């Protein structure tokens, strides 16, 4: 008789992690959808500045979301999931080697996942560890996170944060409004 169990023991990915990965996928898809070239097509010369700004924001939004997706995915599979998945195979699918897999996420990402899995989520850890998501993107990720968000919103002076790409877009708009490339 074999010492191996008849049925393997499989792990379950916690709902907050699944939900964050889904939100990041949605953010990436929105960025990709906004990359359309229809606004710069045609043979008539015209000012394309607005279209170029939109395309630049879209590329940044998609890139930031996919980088955060990979970072959260890698950190979760490497540090949290039980049983451990085949890290070498996961690394190879990303064009990396096993030894560099842990370099594909940061300690801030690990702290963000810990916060997501906590009964009392640390919003600052999530903000700094998953920059592609803004405050509003976090609604509905988990009941514990919704409670933490409600408590934060009730604090005097609380200001919800924007996703990193949207902050960059706001800065670009401010530059345009002043008519200067130097802010």
- For 105-114, the pLDDT digits (tens) are 999 999 999 9
Per DSSP, the three-state class of 73 is helix
Contact 137/27 with Cβ under 8 angstroms? yes
Can you tell me the mean pLDDT for 79-93?
93
The residue range of the domain holding 120 is 15-33+49-177
Confidence at 168, pLDDT banded by 50, 70, 90: low
Residue 154 lies in a domain: yes
- What local confidence, expressed as pLDDT, does residue 115 receive? 98
Among residues 65, 49, 30, 47, which one has the least CA distance to residue 175? 49
- Tally of residues, the chain: 183
Q: Of all residues in the chain, what percent carry a pLDDT higher than 70?
A: 86
* Measured distance CA(183)–CA(155) in Å, rounded: 31
Q: Taking the chain, what is the end-to-end CA distance rounded to the nearest angstrom? A: 73
- Check residue 39 and give its pLDDT: 83
Per-residue pLDDT tens for 6-28? 555 688 999 999 999 999 999 99
| Model pTM score | 0.84
For 27, the token pair is 């953010």
Number of domains, the chain: 1
What is the average per-residue pLDDT within 155-178? 75
Q: What is the pLDDT of residues 44-69, one digit of tens each?
A: 888 888 888 888 889 999 999 999 99
Q: Does residue 41 have a pLDDT over 90?
A: no
Which of 16, 37, 2 shows the shortest CA–CA distance to 133? 16
Q: Rounded to an integer, what is the distance from CA 23 to the centroid of its chain?
A: 7
């Amino acid at each position: 008789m074999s010492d191996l169990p008849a049925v393997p023991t499989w792990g379950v990915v916690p709902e907050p992690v699944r939900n964050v990965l889904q939100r990041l996928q949605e953010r990436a898809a929105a960025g990709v959808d906004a990359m359309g070239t229809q606004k710069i097509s045609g043979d008539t010369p015209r000012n394309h500045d607005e279209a170029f700004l939109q395309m630049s924001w879209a590329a940044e939004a998609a890139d930031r979301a996919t980088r955060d997706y990979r970072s959260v995915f890698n950190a979760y599979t490497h540090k949290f999931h039980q049983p451990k998945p085949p890290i070498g195979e996961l690394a190879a699918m990303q064009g990396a080697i096993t030894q560099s897999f842990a370099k594909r996420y940061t300690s801030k990402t690990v702290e963000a996942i810990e916060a997501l899995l906590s009964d009392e989520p640390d919003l600052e850890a999530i903000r700094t560890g998953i920059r592609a998501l803004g405050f509003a993107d976090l609604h509905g990720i988990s009941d514990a996170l919704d409670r933490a968000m409600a408590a934060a919103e009730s604090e005097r002076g609380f200001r919800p944060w924007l996703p990193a790409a949207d902050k960059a877009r706001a800065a670009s708009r401010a530059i345009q409004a002043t008519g200067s490339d130097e802010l």
